[in-house]
A and B are shown apart, each in its own frame.
Chain A
Amino acid sequence: MILNKLCAGCRPTRPKLLSNPVKSVTRENEISSRSLHFTFVPDKKSQKAGETQRLNMFQAINDGLKLALARDPTAVIFGEDVAFGGVFRCTMGLKDQFGADRVFNTPLCEQGIAGFGIGLANQGVTAIAEMQFADYIFPAFDQLVNEAAKMRYRSGGQFNCGKLTVRSPCGAVGHGGLYHSQSPEAYFAHTPGLKIVVPRGPIQAKGLLLSCIEDPDPCIIFEPKALYRGAVDDVPTGEFRTPIGKAEVLREGTSVTLVGWGSQVHVLLETADIVEKKLNASCEVVDLVSILPWDTEAVCKSVKKTGRLVIAHEAPLTNGFGGEIAATVQEECFLHLEAPIQRVTGWDTPFPYIFEPFYLPDKWRCFDAIKRILKY
């Protein structure tokens, strides 16, 4: 299940990054040849938190994991190939720093990884499990949906696995084909008991990771793999938390609300620029951040203001999480809606290889949807 070449698919990181302590970045960035369907927009708010360092997303995750292991002696990290640093480099150097009993490889078996993590968490151990690709999380579906999600409920609160965090790379990467591109958040969003988050960049990746690790419920963090190397932020060096369940309004606007998560947020930000330029309309861009529980309040508040909503996600349309948002918004904001809610998503097909440019809900498809509902 390792497809290391995927790591090379991202845009080259900025020259400044070359001075970063994680040395391997340099070499692998040289292989980068293909460009992605979005341009990463660094987080402007990062300065608020004092001292920062420029990190790409895998480095920010690595930094978060390091802090988690340092502060909590029970914490362990495990999964396929995490000991040497991980196929996306997120666990680099951690085994050497914290020991082979705390950062270790498991046999190649996702249901085992999830079940093992639940057992650790039952004992109060902070268990940070990695699924190498979200596409391969399905063998663990039973453990996550029937077990992790329901353990507290079914035992009347006697037992729980709240200390379990599952990390998994997700989303399009330019050339991942069917099994290195999927965005399975909607499958899990139908599962009471789980928390699901998707970061849009290095700052949120670190902040959400630390929140998930500390959260008293089992969490899944889907990390858009396209951002691992391409996305660079000024990431606060210390500990900080990005709250679970809270959306973030990244750009205020008046004509239409755009909701997305993960790398799709950057598509929407770029689309908002185009809309402004070509249609002279302003978009309010909301990063949902948290899929379950999701911030209905923030989204509805925005829609009540703009009267229009476009939801965009890479995953297929039918039963995608956009459907849930649309249904809720029409119920809560019925009198404020001035046009039908639009969903711009992946098609209801498997994720194709050579046809990726035609599959993704890119800025032009998003732009077109906005243009149409502005005229509605």
Chain B
Amino acid sequence: MAAQTYFKFFNSVAFRNFTRSLSNTIKEPKFMGINTRFTDILKFVNSESYESIPVYRLLSSPKCQVSHTEAKIDNDLLLKMYESMVRIRTMDKILYESQRQGRISFYMTNMGEEAIQIGSAAGLKLEDIIYAQYREAGVLLWRGYKYSQFINQCYGNHEDPGKGKQMPVHYGSKELNFVTISSPLTTQLPQAVGAAYAIKRAKKDACVVCYFGEGAASEGDAHAAFNFAATLDCPIIFLCRNNGYAISTPSLEQCRGDGIAARGPAYGINTIRVDGNDVIAMHHVTRVARDFCIKEGKPVLIEAMSYRLGHHSTSDDSTTYRAKGEIDDWTKESPIVKLRQYLENLQLWDDERNKELEASVRQEFLREFEEAEKKLKLNWREAFTDVYQDMPHHIKKQMISMERHLKEYQEHYPLKEFQAS
């Protein structure tokens, strides 16, 4: 068709009538809150409609040849991260064994997830506020929590800042900005969002980091938190440790979507999936996420893919629901193994140094352990404190009634393990 004809058609009354008749149907949708287009193709959106979110990694396995320049990480930091991972592993071994011997009542190891903890902790600053689940002891260790402090908490002795009120591994440290852990899963998520809102209003140069497992992400509180963080623009990093299991439940029975990461964009949250066994990737991603959420005042979701090498806890025997071969395979991929190979390639590390480190850590830890074991627990009256800031009359009355009871029946109570008044 000649250009002339085109011109004539577009100026014709017929064309104008034609477009007018369409004007009610072809205009863009105006539904509130949704920015999209109309379609006349009936198509369900499902996992085939998009590519699964890839796993970001910098260390390749088994031989690590990737340079870590992208992560701007110097060798000293790399070595410190490695040492910290070994330290947490050593602590786990000893405390796990001590539970087996009945010396502490309960324990949960961090095995296989050391890179998630150490890598992310190294990417943060001390003023960032941590809300954790319970498998994040490495974060505390990185922040400066001492062996003695971990052990005091597990023993609930008089030096436990938690005053012996919670089960082992429920750590907390005001000075290290690590909010005390509680057992109910996921409750810390919306709380962390509230804390993030608070520090944003206070214009602090900090963010909140909230750790949780992929199982915990099934709780309603996770939904609440993601949605509140997005709609209220809170500077928070949600860091999901996807280690394949929630006690015995494999992640496939936990969710059928593309893991936890796929949920992020649905809430309007910047999201990334990362190799949780790659400490360099963990460190780099956390640092970038931190910068983003402070600068933009918005949340980030990181799904760190890993594998829970240990049992869920000392009350669990994971061989009853998973194959040993599976554990062995992942042991070869474990973050400590991967980083060690990398350090050896760079000639920053060798067998001898490794032996030295492990021996010295073990020695130091056992020394602290013996010290902690000897310490008394707080006076029993502490059971009545901190319910409220000030002890109300009715609680005081109950404490006095226990006092009276103990006077008469003291031989039936383990008073020797507790400080006298």
Q: How far is the CA of A279 from the CA of B66 in the complex (A)?
A: 94
Q: How far is the CA of A150 from the CA of B387 in the complex (A)?
A: 7
**Cross-chain contact B172 with A155 (CB below 8 angstroms):** yes
Least Cβ–Cβ distance between B265 and chain A, in angstroms: 17
**Cross-chain contact B195 with A123 (CB below 8 angstroms):** yes
Instruction: Write out the residue numbers on chain B whose beta carbons fall within 8 Å of the beta carbon of A125.
Output: 198, 201
Instruction: Write out the residue numbers on chain B whose beta carbons fall within 8 Å of the beta carbon of A76.
Output: 197, 201
Q: How far is the CA of A46 from the CA of B232 in the complex (A)?
A: 40
Query: Is the CB of A154 closer than 8 A to any CB of chain B?
Result: yes
Stretch binding the partner chain, chosen from A110-118, A172-180, A301-309:
A110-118
**In the complex, which of the residues A107, A124, A150, A156 contacts B182, with contact meaning CB atoms closer than 8 Å?**
A150
**Cross-chain contact B160 with A118 (CB below 8 angstroms):** no
Cβ-closest chain A residue relative to B167 = A154
Known: A106-B228, A117-B194, A153-B165. A143 touches B392 (CB 8 A): no
**In the complex, which of the residues A116, A152, A162 contacts B193, with contact meaning CB atoms closer than 8 Å?**
A116
**In the complex, which of the residues B163, B223, B232, B388 contacts A104, with contact meaning CB atoms closer than 8 Å?**
B232
Least Cβ–Cβ distance between B230 and chain A, in angstroms: 9
Query: Is the CB of B202 closer than 8 A to any CB of chain A?
Result: yes
Least Cβ–Cβ distance between A236 and chain B, in angstroms: 26
Please give the residue numbers on chain B whose beta carbons come within 8 Å of chain A beta carbons, in ascending order.
129, 131, 160-163, 165-166, 170, 172-174, 179-180, 182, 184, 187, 189-199, 201-202, 220-221, 223-225, 227-228, 231-232, 385-390, 392-395
Interface residues on A, range: 35 or more
**Cross-chain contact A154 with B194 (CB below 8 angstroms):** no
Instruction: Write out the residue numbers on chain A whose beta carbons fall within 8 Å of the beta carbon of B187.
Output: 115, 142-143, 146-147
**Cross-chain contact A115 with B193 (CB below 8 angstroms):** yes
Instruction: Write out the residue numbers on chain B whose beta carbons fall within 8 Å of the beta carbon of A297.
Output: 393
Query: Is the CB of A361 closer than 8 A to any CB of chain B?
Result: no
**Cross-chain contact A156 with B225 (CB below 8 angstroms):** no
Q: How far is the CA of A217 from the CA of B389 in the complex (A)?
A: 7
Question: Can you spell out 21 A-B residue pairs with CB atoms less than 8 angstroms apart?
Answer: A106-B232, A111-B221, A112-B193, A112-B221, A112-B228, A114-B190, A115-B190, A116-B190, A119-B195, A122-B195, A123-B194, A147-B184, A154-B165, A154-B180, A154-B182, A155-B172, A156-B163, A158-B173, A216-B389, A217-B388, A293-B394
Instruction: Write out the residue numbers on chain A whose beta carbons fall within 8 Å of the beta carbon of B195.
Output: 119-120, 122-123
Instruction: Write out the residue numbers on chain A whose beta carbons fall within 8 Å of the beta carbon of B198.
Output: 74, 119-120, 122-125
Instruction: Write out the residue numbers on chain A whose beta carbons fall within 8 Å of the beta carbon of B385.
Output: 157
**Cross-chain contact B160 with A156 (CB below 8 angstroms):** yes
Q: How far is the CA of A156 from the CA of B196 in the complex (A)?
A: 23
Q: A76-B201, A152-B386 provided; 9 other pairs, C-beta below 8 A?
A: A106-B232, A107-B231, A112-B190, A117-B194, A120-B197, A139-B220, A155-B180, A156-B180, A158-B174
Q: How far is the CA of A217 from the CA of B391 in the complex (A)?
A: 11
Instruction: Write out the residue numbers on chain B whose beta carbons fall within 8 Å of the beta carbon of A103.
Output: none
**Cross-chain contact B184 with A296 (CB below 8 angstroms):** no
Cβ-closest chain B residue relative to A117 = B194
Q: How far is the CA of A74 from the CA of B194 in the complex (A)?
A: 13
**Cross-chain contact A101 with B201 (CB below 8 angstroms):** yes
Which of A275-321 touch B at CB < 8 Å? 293, 296-297
Instruction: Write out the residue numbers on chain A whose beta carbons fall within 8 Å of the beta carbon of B387.
Output: 152-153, 192-193
**In the complex, which of the residues A109, A123, A158, A217 contacts B224, with contact meaning CB atoms closer than 8 Å?**
A109
**In the complex, which of the residues A101, A107, A147, A155 contacts B227, with contact meaning CB atoms closer than 8 Å?**
A107
